[in-house]
Amino acid sequence: MAYEKSIAAFEEAYKVIPGGVDSPVRAFSGVEGTPPFIERGEGGYLCDIDGNRYIDFVQSWGPLIFGHCDADIEAAVMDAVKKGLSFGAPTTVETALAEEIVTLFESIDKVRFVSSGTEAVMSAIRLARGFTGRDDIVKFTGCYHGHSDSLLVQAGSGAATFGNPSSPGVPADLTKHTLLATYNDIESVKQCFADSKEGIACVIIEPIAGNMGLVPADESFLQELRTLCDAHGTLLIFDEVMSGFRASLKGAQGITSVKPDMVTLGKVIGAGMPVGAFGASAEIMAHLSPEGPVYQAGTLSGNPVAMSAGLASLKKLKANPAVYVELGNRAKKLMEGFKKAADAVNVPMVTDVRGSMFGFFFSDKPVKNFADAMENDQKMFAKFHKGMLDRGIYLACSSFETGFISAATTDAMIDDAIKAAYETLKEIQ
């Protein structure tokens, strides 16, 4: 494929945008080549400014469960736009979307909308601290919860350590209350509780981790985590910004029996528009302003256009829950095909699927945590990504990201992607 226009566009963007992109992973620094500059989306496809068309397994990093330019969602957005882009005032569509979420998530009585996943998590943690009167929190190495200061920490040595800032500009004083544990390792969490002098306000986890590749939490681990939090009066937060309405109609909570105290959401509830949300029991949410003392606000929170897009998406999902079976079957078919293609040329690969989410690692052992993910052959992934892109297959441009199937992804597209995987892996070997 030719990428001349995208290369020129990237060079031009670099002059006025740091790194040429508005989110670091888009720069293709973890893979080979230059990022294609996208002109439009068509169902299960992306089209770039060079005229290339790709089967899209990124789907805007998850929100587009019905693919690009879904007619029903487009109609809802256009109807909302004609009434006004933003009011900074209450609208009934906020209530309608909140009701859809509350009826599906047992752990949520009330929900507050914000404009991003980062905002949702930042606000949920502030509320957890305000509710418990404690400062310390626990997160897991490899789980990404947005770029707010207290969550931008890197792992130290050992099972559980106090976090150090992983980005300049983040004061150590803001991360000293963030303790790090190892995903799927309950002993590391117990150590965090032992290390905390003042008590832990909350434990936040992606129950289906999607930012170290697709790495689901073990059911037994989540159950032990719930028991541990209950014993210490600590709130358990499920970050379902990615898995909410993706892994199932009820997100990870449609798969695990464990119920969190708080939930953060995003992606699908905006259907491609910037939306985040956090919710909990009425008792916990009563501590949030204006009912309670924990402050949170946002001019564009509950934006009517974004709310309308999300409402249309959730209504379609509730009306046709069987779509999750179709999406899951296609995700399994894709991963089974990739695995067979890798086996055919003796390349180690492990795969996993949760609903319409899929992931693969060039590794010869199961991936249970971030340390395992780091052993993934990143050079092989980079070559594979470039070969697939050249064959019209658009995969996430990092070995630590999750892929997504949309309702617009057909069996023929899956077959084409599997064929491309065979050709690419054979060419690499």
In the chain, domain spans: 4-69+322-428, 71-319
Alpha-carbon distance of 157 to 215, in angstroms, equals: 21
* Per-chain mean pLDDT for the chain: 94
At 45-76, the pLDDT tens digits run 999 999 999 999 999 999 999 999 999 999 99
Q: Which of 56, 70, 239, 372 is flagged as catalytic?
A: 239
DSSP one-letter string for 263-293: EEE-GGGGBTB--EEEEE-HHHHTTBTTTSS
Residue 237 token pair: 């937060």
At 167-210, the pLDDT tens digits run 677 777 777 899 999 999 999 999 999 999 889 999 999 999 99
On the 0-12 / 13-18 / 19+ scale of CB atoms within 10 A, 178 is: buried
Residue 201 token pair: 């306000």
At 95-105, the pLDDT tens digits run 999 999 999 99
Q: What pLDDT sits at residue 176?
A: 84
On the 0-12 / 13-18 / 19+ scale of CB atoms within 10 A, 123 is: buried
User: Which CATH number is associated with domain 71-319?
Assistant: 3.40.640.10
Q: How confident is the model at residue 411 (pLDDT cuts 50, 70, 90)?
A: very high
Element (H, E) at 56: strand 53-56
Q: What pLDDT sits at residue 172?
A: 74
CA angle 248, 251, 253 (to 5 degrees): 110
Terminal Cα-to-Cα distance of the chain (whole angstroms)? 21
Q: Is the peptide bond before 290 cis (omega within 30 degrees of 0)?
A: yes
Q: How many CB atoms lie within 10 A of CB 71?
A: 9
Contact yes or no for 323/317 (Cβ under 8 A): yes
Residue 82: CA count within 13 A, CB half-sphere: 6
Q: What pLDDT sits at residue 148?
A: 82
Alpha-carbon distance of 402 to 202, in angstroms, equals: 26
Q: How confident is the model at residue 162 (pLDDT cuts 50, 70, 90)?
A: very low
DSSP, collapsed to helix, strand or coil, labels residue 235 as strand
| 144 is annotated as an active-site residue | yes
Tell me whether domains 4-69+322-428 and 71-319 share a fold. no
Q: How confident is the model at residue 164 (pLDDT cuts 50, 70, 90)?
A: low
- The size of the chain, in residues, is 429
DSSP, collapsed to helix, strand or coil, labels residue 110 as strand
DSSP designation for 43: B
Residue 273 token pair: 């528009």
Q: Which of 54, 144, 324, 394 is flagged as catalytic?
A: 144
Residue 35 Ramachandran class (φ > 0 left, ψ -120 to 50 alpha, else beta): beta
At 81-118, the pLDDT tens digits run 999 999 999 999 999 999 999 999 999 999 999 999 99
Residue 368: CA count within 13 A, CB half-sphere: 9
Contact yes or no for 150/137 (Cβ under 8 A): yes
| 3 is annotated as an active-site residue | no
- Whether residue 155 is predicted with pLDDT greater than 70 in this model: the reply is no
- Whether residue 124 is predicted with pLDDT greater than 80 in this model: the reply is yes
Alpha-carbon distance of 54 to 253, in angstroms, equals: 33
Alpha-carbon distance of 145 to 204, in angstroms, equals: 9
- Whether residue 160 is predicted with pLDDT greater than 80 in this model: the reply is no
- Percent pLDDT > 90 in the chain is 89
Q: How confident is the model at residue 165 (pLDDT cuts 50, 70, 90)?
A: low
Alpha-carbon distance of 80 to 29, in angstroms, equals: 38
Strand partners, 42: 45
- The pTM for the full model equals 0.94
Q: Buried (b) or exposed (e) across 42-63, using 16+ Cβ within 10 A? A: ebbbbbbbbebebbbbbbbbbb
Alpha-carbon distance of 25 to 301, in angstroms, equals: 26
Q: Which residue has the tokens 């976090």?
A: 163
Q: Which residue has the tokens 């009425």?
A: 282
- Whether residue 223 is predicted with pLDDT greater than 90 in this model: the reply is yes
Spell out the residues 6+ positions from residue 100 whose beta carbon is closer than 8 angstroms to its own: 311, 314, 315, 318
24 against 420, higher pLDDT: 420
| 239 is annotated as an active-site residue | yes
Q: Which of 110, 139, 267, 316 is flagged as catalytic?
A: 267
DSSP one-letter string for 325-388: HHHHHHHHHHHHHHHHHHHHTT---EEEEETTEEEEES-SS---SHHHHHTS-HHHHHHHHHHH
- Whether residue 371 is predicted with pLDDT greater than 90 in this model: the reply is yes
- Percent pLDDT > 70 in the chain is 97
User: Which CATH number is associated with domain 4-69+322-428?
Assistant: 3.90.1150.10
Q: What pLDDT sits at residue 166?
A: 61
